[in-house]
Structure 1
């Protein structure tokens, strides 16, 4: 009996997209997977439609922009250059299941699905991904809302990454969304011992983007004489300009170190040498205000204590599991005050709590949820 044919669409560099790679590890156990996205064939796929890097995922053409301005949203659904390329590449192909990652892939998924069920995996709140920007609010958000309103009720399954987003999708679009977090696999690690002398080693990993409050984290760590901060940073889309600014700041103190990024699979081992994972994200849009990011699960599997800003999902994650401290607001002063609460004894206790919860907060629940969903959609 032939294996089911599964199409997984993610208009992202899939080989570097941790969530989609975890998704592929599930899908490949149920069938032969064709992926659509940027970059090379990712692990877990048997075939790949590689979208040329220069093709945009939104209708960023003169005609497309005019359609968005005139609210001709249905006409604009398939106008993004990346979508048009994928639609032509998939012409005539048939699948037994189609997975659409993010709202901008929904119209394409239904255009090629035929009679196959569609699973819409909404990584974020689609209309609010960049709603701090005027152009997004007035040009792009209406299209994202249209995509969700048109296609999510037709999906055979909808999932998203956090409880607050599950509730928002259900309330606004009438879905019955499931929860598949950004948790990562369990790592066989132990908490690293604290240093003699009371030095606390802070760590952060992620993109070197201005809205990630990285300068604030660096300045906050310098306020306390007993802390150091190591950052593993990926250059952002600004050509590395912001990263260079941070490197200039790091050069002013031996207690600040910026490292090259490491592969997602290697992050827990790299971070295990530290004591506290630090992260602060100002609530500039709905998603930033309600984030439960990948890096929290990286910190957890690395067996680190936590110091985070008071975003509701992050605060609940940290406090419910006794993982560390939450600042009262997003200012440097508040973050410094939170760091002051982290005595070596409290850090050691929080690191042990991370170790105690590493199995239950790994991706085992999410993987089981995804397998059950795929089995249901394939009718097996």
Structure 2
């Protein structure tokens, strides 16, 4: 009997998409895996269909934009150039399960599934993905809402990154979403030494406009000289403009450094020598307010203390496990006040607590959610 055929669609560079790579590590346990996305074949894939660079994942053609503007949303569902390419690439093929990553490809997944069950990994809250951008809010947000309303009830399984976002999907679309966090695989790393006279802060992620990394730089600039910050940033698809603006904003005393990004699986090892992993994202939209990103779990596996703002998902875990400090607000002054007087002994305690929580907050529990879904769908 041939192995099950599983299709994973993620219109992202999968080879460096940490969440999809972890997802693939489980999907690969269940059969022959075909992936569709940008960039080279990712680990865990048996066959990869590489979407040509430059093909948009949204209906950003003159006809597509006209359909969005006229609210002809059904007609715009498959108008994106990348979707058109995928439809041709898989024409005539059959799959036992289709895994769809993010709302923008729900109609595409439905079209290629041919009745096979679809697991929709929604990641975040799709209707407000980029609503801080006017053009997105006016043109794209209605399409995301339409796709969720139309196709989520047809999906056999739905996952998202946190409980609160899952509740949003339940309340608006009447669907049950299971939580599959952005957790990292367990790493057996030591609890690093902490100096008495220096605090080494670190932040890893993408240099994307809207992440407000300016705030992080301004906080470090205002902190005493014993604080330093290293940034491991992946440039955005803007030719590196935003990253350059950040380097220009950094203080001249060298306390803020920009280092080359490292592959997702290497991050905990790279970060292990620091003291505090930091992430302060003001709640400019729902996903910002409810963020629980990859980096949080990388910090835990790296055995770091954690410094965040009052973002409820991160604040809950930080306080429950005694992992670090939660600022009372998102102003530079409030965040600076939360850190200014931290002691070496406090940091040592937070790092020990991260070590104690590393198993519970690892990918093992979230991988089991994926295994339960795939096992159920194949059995059904």
TM over 0.5: yes
**Counterpart in the other structure of 2:281:** 281
Q: Secondary structure at the match of 1:232?
A: strand
Q: Which residue of structure 2 lines up, in the alignment, with residue 161 of structure 1? A: 161
Inter-partner Cα distance in structure 1 for 2:255 and 2:66: 51
Superposition deviation, residue 344 in structure 1 = 1.0
Matched ranges for 1:164-183 at <5 A: 164-183=164-183
Asked if 1:218 corresponds to 2:184, the answer is no
TM alignment of 1:220-235, pairs within 5 A: 220-222=219-221, 223-235=223-235
Q: Distance in 1 between matches of 2:189 and 2:286?
A: 34
Instruction: Determine the structure 2 residue equivalent to 1:319.
Output: 319
User: What whole-Å deviation, never above 9, does each CA across 1:266-323 have from its counterpart, x for those lacking one?
Assistant: 1101100000001111211111111001100010000000111211111112111111
Tell me which residue corresponds to 1:206.
Answer: 205
Paired position in structure 1 for 2:146: 146
Distance 1:339 1:280 in 2: 12
- Matched residues in 1 for 2:137 and 2:284: separation? 13
**What residue in structure 2 maps to residue 377 of structure 1?**
377
Q: Determine if contact 1:5/1:32 at 8 Å carries over to the other structure.
A: yes
CA contact (8 A) 1:318 1:324 kept: yes
The number of aligned residues is 379
What does residue 102 of structure 2 align with?
Answer: 102
Whole-Å separation in 2 of the counterparts to 1:13 and 1:123: 15
Q: Distance in 2 between matches of 1:249 and 1:176?
A: 44
- Structure 2 CA distance for aligned equivalents of residues 129 and 82 of structure 1: 19
Distance 1:286 1:307 in 2: 21
Q: Secondary structure at the match of 1:33?
A: strand
Q: Distance in 2 between matches of 1:109 and 1:212?
A: 29
**C-alpha displacement at 1:249, in angstroms?**
4.0
Cα offset for 1:207?
Answer: 1.4
* C-alpha deviation, 1:212, in angstroms: 2.2
TM-score (structure 2 length as normaliser): 0.97
CA RMSD of aligned residues (A): 1.2
The 3-state SS of whatever aligns with 1:29 is helix
Q: Runs of at least 4 residues of structure 1 off by over 4 A?
A: none
List runs of 5+ in structure 1 lacking aligned partners: none
Alpha-carbon distance between aligned partners in 2 of 1:176 and 1:201, rounded to the nearest angstrom: 42
Structure 1 distance, partners of 2:304, 2:118, is 38
Match of 2:83 in 1: 83
- Note the C-alpha offset of 1:245: 2.8
Q: Conserved in 2, the CA contact under 8 Å of 1:56 and 1:80?
A: yes
> SS of the counterpart of 2:187?
coil
Moved more, 89-98 or 69-78: 69-78
Report the counterpart of residue 63 of structure 2 in structure 1: 63
Deviation at 1:232? 1.0
Find the residue that maps to 1:212 and give its secondary structure: coil
Deviation at 1:214, TM superposition (A): 2.1
Q: C-alpha distance in 1, partners of 2:256/2:112?
A: 50
Q: Distance in 2 between matches of 1:351 and 1:62?
A: 53
Normalised by the length of structure 1, the TM-score is 0.97
In the alignment, what sits opposite 2:13?
13
Q: Please, which moves more after superposition, 70-79 or 233-242?
A: 233-242
Deviation at 1:264, TM superposition (A): 0.8
> In 1, distance between residues paired with 2:210 and 2:176?
32
Deviation by residue 1:117-161 (Cα, 9 ceiling, x = unmatched): 011110111110001122111110111011000010010001100
Question: What is the SS of the residue equivalent to 2:57?
Answer: coil
Contact 1:268 1:298 in 2 (8 A): yes
Instruction: Using the TM superposition, name which of 340-349 and 26-35 deviates more.
Output: 340-349
Q: Name the counterpart of 1:41.
A: 41
